[in-house]
Structure 1
Amino acid sequence: MTYWDPIPTLRACVEGEPLPGLARWVPAYSGSWGAWPDAWAELNWRNVPGPFYGAATDTCWVGRGVAPDHILYDDEYGQEFVYRQPRTPEETHRVMAAAWQDPMAGFACDGDAHWTPELVRDWWRDRGRVREWAAALDRTWSVSEDEGRREAADGARAYVAHIDGDLGDCLRGYVFHLAEGRPARAGESLPRL
């Protein structure tokens, strides 16, 4: 699987290009978005490796409203994190919109500066921990009387499916990107996890 780099799309947006169809979620653009200096230190362990991640986010549960295929909430504090990295401009716009509505500014997009091939491999080796967490969350929240938790259980199921499905190939492409500074070309071998 070829890695798709969302950072050029992010840069275009913060330089003034609109987010198509998402203007109501993004009241203003900020060239400094994702530059919170201590975000990585607050990284939520449930984030899938990649450029976008949630750290000390709010607990308002609004991210899934605009990016349900990418954002999930933890069960400890209700903070938001990224369970699937964007693979298209529209998906990038949705993750950005989710991040921009966080009043705590707890999302960041500088994961490429922190993840290394070794850290990605470590995360992958320990994926059973996050998979079991997501499966347990689904079991608990899918039977909740709270409609928001039942909806978020969909995200937990999607996270498990992502881990069991194409996430390994996605991370192999990401490791190549981190090591080589570019996506793999057709026919190039991807590294092992």
Structure 2
Amino acid sequence: MSYWDPIPTVRACAEGEPLPGLAEWVPAYNDSWDTGSDVWQERNWRNVPGPFYGAATDTCWVGREVAPDHVLYDDEFGLEFVYRQPRTPEETHRVMAAAWQDPMAGYACDGDERWTPELVREWWRDRGRVREWAVGLDRSWSGSARADEREAAGGARAYVAYIDDGLEDHLRGYVFWLAERRQPRPDELLPRL
């Protein structure tokens, strides 16, 4: 699968479906998290292109507690951002739970209306900057005395591994999705980045 659309799962939750197994994180639907946010201009440059992204989030470091395979913290202010877009309903629920824990309402899931194929390609061309940042974060936090920083260093390593293997295919599928708003047929080639 080249790209999986998480937005139907988001809509189902907004209509009242519970987040399975995440009741401790999201006791009830919180309508303060708007799927049509206006935080795009403030988004963290480390966010991987896709519908979910973090901008001016809190600095409480709770996102990785519920979505460690998707959320990471920057090293400057502790802001949360999405380093891997969800690929299943469960992963979508986890990213949503991370977003709903943010008292600053700094997450959004309107990236499909904001990203364009050219913006995704620009992000991909500049991936070396993101990779270099993640390598540096791992280097500085992996030996930290703080357990939460050492744990987050693992997320930085996972981000580097994803940039090196897997992210390109995902983004090629996402560019197709942005252009066509559908999954590619088996005989269709994905666009180049």
Q: TM-score normalised by the shorter chain: which range applies?
A: over 0.9
Query: Shift of residue 185 of structure 1?
Result: 2.1
RMSD (Å) for aligned C-alpha atoms = 1.1
Aligned length: 193
Distance in 1 between residues matched to 2:31 and 2:103, nearest whole Å: 16
Query: Shift of residue 93 of structure 1?
Result: 0.3
Report the counterpart of residue 109 of structure 1 in structure 2.
109
Report the counterpart of residue 118 of structure 2 in structure 1.
118
Distance in 2 between residues matched to 1:14 and 1:110, nearest whole Å: 14
Secondary structure in structure 2 of the residue aligned to 1:25: coil
Query: Shift of residue 187 of structure 1?
Result: 2.2
Query: After superposition, where does 1:76-115 map in structure 2 within 5 Å?
Result: 76-115=76-115
Distance in 1 between residues matched to 2:40 and 2:166, nearest whole Å: 25
Query: Shift of residue 17 of structure 1?
Result: 0.5
Query: Shift of residue 181 of structure 1?
Result: 1.2
Distance in 2 between residues matched to 1:21 and 1:15, nearest whole Å: 18
Query: Shift of residue 33 of structure 1?
Result: 2.6
Deviating 4+ runs (over 3 angstroms): 34-37
Distance in 1 between residues matched to 2:107 and 2:176, nearest whole Å: 24
Distance in 2 between residues matched to 1:112 and 1:163, nearest whole Å: 20
1:55 equivalent in alignment to 2:55: yes
Secondary structure in structure 2 of the residue aligned to 1:72: strand
Report the counterpart of residue 3 of structure 1 in structure 2.
3
Report the counterpart of residue 134 of structure 1 in structure 2.
134
Distance in 2 between residues matched to 1:192 and 1:11, nearest whole Å: 30
Distance in 2 between residues matched to 1:156 and 1:127, nearest whole Å: 14
- Note closer, same or farther for the CA distance 1:101–1:32 as it changes in structure 2 (3 Å cut): closer
Report the counterpart of residue 172 of structure 1 in structure 2.
172
Report the counterpart of residue 155 of structure 1 in structure 2.
155
Query: Shift of residue 27 of structure 1?
Result: 2.5
Report the counterpart of residue 22 of structure 1 in structure 2.
22
Structure 1, unaligned stretches of length 5 or more? none
* 1:2/1:185 contact within 8 Å kept: no
Query: Shift of residue 28 of structure 1?
Result: 2.3
- TM-score, length-normalised on structure 2? 0.97
In the TM superposition, what whole-angstrom CA distance separates every residue of 1:26-48 from its partner, at most 9, and x where no partner exists? Answer: 12214563346421011100000
* 1:15/1:31 contact within 8 Å kept: no
* 2:32/2:105 contact within 8 Å kept: no
Secondary structure in structure 2 of the residue aligned to 1:182: coil
Distance in 2 between residues matched to 1:52 and 1:21, nearest whole Å: 21
Distance in 1 between residues matched to 2:67 and 2:168, nearest whole Å: 22
Structure 2, unaligned stretches of length 5 or more? none
